Amino acid sequence: MKQKSSRPISRRGFIQTSAAALGGFTLLPSGVLAQAGRPGANDRLIVAHIGVGGMGNVHLDNMLQFQREGKVRIAAVCDVDESRLRDAVKTAGAEVEPYRDYRYILQRKDIDAVLIATPDHWHGVQTVHACESGKHVYVEKPSSVTIEEGNAMIASARANQVSVQVGAQGRTGKGAWYTCRAIRNGIVGRVRRVDCWHYANPVDDNPVADCEPPGTFDWDMWLGPLPWRPYNPRYCPGVFRWFLESGGGQIRDRGAHQFSTILWCMNADQQTSFTVEAKGTSPLKGLWDCPVDMEVVYEFRNPDWTLVWGQPGNKVGKTEFGQTFIGDNGRLILEWEGAYRGAEPDAINFKLPQGGQEVYRTAEYEDFNMNHKADWFKSIREGSLRPAVDIEIAHRTATLCILGNISYILGRRLVWDGQNQRVVGDDQANRLLTRPQRYPYVL
């Protein structure tokens, strides 16, 4: 199978190609257009969805609820899979415009914000392009697959003065809030160590041959920034997670949730420098290359504490994954990341001491997914543009995940200089902080 040819398009041109070249689309009358960074008609945000499978369906359901409340209007949906696209239109209503190419959406001046739920390897490129088009962004975690992408996302959000919320809902979930409040106020004394447990990555124990992609599926667009390769059912849709190149395994998926909550509880968002050392067991067959089991140890200084990603680790809770905060005066468990599961009774019943530290809470909705998006809306409407999981916070979390995988690949300990965004004294590791992207799907 040959790669589809692509007409050369400049970086800016990729998102600003003329309507004639891409095909026309309908714009709303000027009376209902939203101004950049502001709600549209009737004080509603005009939103569009890029990726409507998996979590994309959750986002669409949430936006439909917000639409019923008069807070948003869904203008468009986009997916490279026509069957998913048809289902999204059925769900959202016939007045919603469908697209297979997200560039159509970014051209539309009436759209204020986009929700991106595409595979991880698209997050960086699509977020940067959306910011450059003046759109606010809600993007799924992990925020990026390389350090270079994360830094570009931050720079683009700041330069274009838009809000970028990353979908790590723990920081607006009840369980994490109770836990963070208790940990920061000394429920277990000074925390010296946080241990994560998580089940293993799967093995592709039934590999299949390359074949033609389904006729309703745009394989070239799905690959986007990745090197071109023949289609194989073991690459997608959800199984992209088990490739170091695109998904990065459990540590970059669930780790993005767990580490975000842990950094919040430890008040460690500013501790951007650390060491990381990983080891793991490689799969013996199939296409998937993420380590089956894995242990990654991070060491922070000033204050000193240790973070351990255990896969499977020491499972001390009742559910599939979670973390244990180990302090001088005991330990506190948090199942999952504090969104999908509640806090321990000790954290819920914890009484704030006199002069204690309250932590940020958004409690507008009982549903944590709705609540996380309400926090995003708040940052847009109030003009702060810094939601609970702002892109800069999410990048710091993703950095832990990315460097864990790089340490595993290289088989050695890395010293990370967060201020300069470099691995100290390791040129080979620094080359892995970025990677070529397939033209024209580039930052």
**Given this model, what pLDDT does residue 70 score?**
97
**Given this model, what pLDDT does residue 230 score?**
97
Reply yes or no on whether the pLDDT at 1 is more than 80. no
Query: Is residue 43 very low, low, confident or very high in pLDDT (cuts 50, 70, 90)?
Result: confident
Residues listed for the chain: 443
**Given this model, what pLDDT does residue 30 score?**
28
CB 322 within 8 A of CB 335: yes
Q: Which residues contact 198 (CB under 8 A, 6 or more apart)?
A: 250, 251, 254, 255, 258, 309, 310, 311, 312, 313, 320, 321
**Given this model, what pLDDT does residue 276 score?**
98
Taking alpha carbons only, the member of 357, 319, 310 closest to residue 339 is: 319
Supply 371's token pair.
């609540």
CA distance 132 to 264: 29
Q: Per residue in 265-296, pLDDT tens?
A: 999 999 999 999 999 999 999 999 999 999 99
**Given this model, what pLDDT does residue 39 score?**
53
CB 192 within 8 A of CB 327: yes
Q: Which residues contact 155 (CB under 8 A, 6 or more apart)?
A: none
Supply 415's token pair.
């010293």
DSSP of 225-289: TSPP----TTTSSGGGGG-TTTT-HHHHHHHHHHHHHHHHHTT-TT---EEEEEEE---SSSS--
Reply yes or no on whether the pLDDT at 33 is more than 90. no
Look at the block and give the residue holding tokens 């950049």: 36
Q: Per residue in 249-271, pLDDT tens?
A: 999 999 999 999 999 999 999 99
Supply 32's token pair.
């209902």
AA letter at 130: A
- The residue ranges of every structural domain in the chain are 11-169, 171-357+392-431
Q: Which residues contact 369 (CB under 8 A, 6 or more apart)?
A: 58, 59, 62, 169
Query: Is residue 37 very low, low, confident or very high in pLDDT (cuts 50, 70, 90)?
Result: very low
User: CATH class for domain 171-357+392-431?
Assistant: alpha beta
Reply yes or no on whether the pLDDT at 3 is more than 80. no
E-strand ranges in 155-245 read 164-166, 191-197
The pTM assigned to this predicted structure is 0.91
* Mean pLDDT of the 59-63 span: 98
CA angle 280–281–287, rounded 5-degree value: 120
DSSP of 24-37: --PPPPGGGPPPTT
* Mean pLDDT of the 98-123 span: 97
Taking alpha carbons only, the member of 121, 142, 139 closest to residue 131 is: 139
Q: Per residue in 76-103, pLDDT tens?
A: 999 999 999 999 999 999 999 999 999 9
Query: Is residue 40 very low, low, confident or very high in pLDDT (cuts 50, 70, 90)?
Result: very low
* Mean pLDDT of the 210-223 span: 97
**Given this model, what pLDDT does residue 362 score?**
85
Q: Which residues contact 69 (CB under 8 A, 6 or more apart)?
A: none
CB 415 within 8 A of CB 299: no
Give the rounded percent of residues in the chain with a pLDDT score beyond 70.
91
Reply yes or no on whether the pLDDT at 4 is more than 80. no
Q: What SS3 state is found at 144? A: coil
Query: Is residue 117 very low, low, confident or very high in pLDDT (cuts 50, 70, 90)?
Result: very high
CA distance 144 to 158: 17
Query: Is residue 111 very low, low, confident or very high in pLDDT (cuts 50, 70, 90)?
Result: very high
Q: What SS3 state is found at 277? A: strand
Look at the block and give the residue holding tokens 């990381």: 276
Q: What SS3 state is found at 49? A: strand
Q: Across the chain, what does the average pLDDT equal?
A: 91
Reply yes or no on whether the pLDDT at 305 is more than 60. yes
CA distance 326 to 319: 19
Supply 136's token pair.
């606010």
Strands 72-78 and 45-50: parallel
Q: Is 11-169 CATH 3.40.50.920?
A: no
Give the rounded percent of residues in the chain with a pLDDT score beyond 90.
89
Strands 305-311 and 294-300: antiparallel
Q: Which residues contact 45 (CB under 8 A, 6 or more apart)?
A: 34, 39, 71, 72, 73, 112, 113, 136, 377, 380
Reply yes or no on whether the pLDDT at 74 is more than 70. yes
Supply 361's token pair.
């809470």
Biggest alpha carbon distance in the chain? 69
* Mean pLDDT of the 374-400 span: 97
Query: Is residue 227 very low, low, confident or very high in pLDDT (cuts 50, 70, 90)?
Result: very high
Supply 295's token pair.
């242990």
